[in-house]
Amino acid sequence: MRCLRDFLQKAEQSGVAIGHFNISDLVLVKAVFAAARELNVPVLVGLSEGEREFVGTRQIAAFVRSLREEFDFPIFLNADHTHSLAKGIEAAKAGFDSIVFDLSALPIEENVRQTKQAVEALKAINPSILVEGEIGDIGSGSEIHDSAPDLSKGLSSPEEAKQFVETTGVDILAPAVGNMHGMLRSMVQGETKKRLDVERIAGIKQAARVFLTLHGGSGTDDEDFRKAIKAGINIVHINTELRVAWRLGLEQGLAKQPNEVVPYKILPSAVDPVKQVVGSRLQLFNGRHVGNGA
């Protein structure tokens, strides 16, 4: 099996993006893996520090590795939003393929200094691990929000991106380009969509010349996704959309079987809704027409 860098390079050459989906239980893993296999496209599953704490860092690494080996399928594992070097080292030693070392809440000088140290420390453990840095402000929490923060003040600039990448040595950059974590209630209901600064993405790509990740992709306009990928986005993160589908599917399963107590008979009702969301996003990110599987 080729490494994650190889698949990212192929995606960039083909003008497509690899979908990244956060997971925190077996239902989500099953749904993401099934959708990716059906479409035969590589996929990234990610876990934040909180998600890793719940699932188990070494345990999820072993589980994903077993899927990759048994099915000879390119499913890769990312340590999402890692805020300390200790947590990054834990994920690297467990065998994660990539780590998002996120100190974007700190002043840029401190973010640069600590990210540079993290790149050196993590690659000493595994030279092929990909390290991602983050700049700008895209909010926090993959949750349902009542109102959107003012993200215009925290947008990343091409100059800042270039300097950050050259100084830190990161393999992947996550800039702030109009994206935000979580979704507004109006987005869940389909009334509004997130919009991206595509020109800014293109400028950052040209200046930084590294792989780019779009965090906070849930609720984004489909056409904006297409334009963003064309402008240089290589990885797209989706989390809240999956959480909403998981919750609705679980509620429906419980409502249909009010007296059932067997988990493996209730939980499949949550797999299919999540799989549908993942499948439609993977089709979009891979330049396929959503809905016909082509």
Q: Which secondary structure element, helix H or strand E, spans residue 89, and what is its range?
A: helix 85-94
Active site includes 80?
yes
Vertex 110, ends 105 and 116: CA angle to 5°?
110
* CA distance readout (Å), 182 to 7, 89, 144: 27, 27, 6
Task: Locate 15 and state its tokens.
Answer: 């003008």
DSSP symbols for 98-140: EEEE--TTS-HHHHHHHHHHHHHHHHHH-TT-EEEEE-S---S
Q: Are 17 and 263 in contact (CB under 8 A)?
A: no
Candidate list 72, 80, 137, 171, residue with the active-site label: 80
Radius of gyration of the chain from its Cα atoms, rounded to whole angstroms: 18
- 3-class DSSP state for residue 21? strand
Query: In degrees to the nearest 10, what's the CA dihedral of 58, 60, 61, 62?
Result: 90
Which residue, chain included where needed, has tokens 């998600």? 51
Which residues in 236-266 are b (16+ Cβ under 10 Å) and which e?
A: bbbbbbbbbbbeebbeebeeeeeeeeeeeee
For 288, counting Cβ atoms within 10 Å of its Cβ (0-12 exposed, 13-18 middle, 19+ buried), the class is middle
Which residue, chain included where needed, has tokens 């979009």? 284
Which residue type sits at 30? Answer: K
Catalytic residues: 80
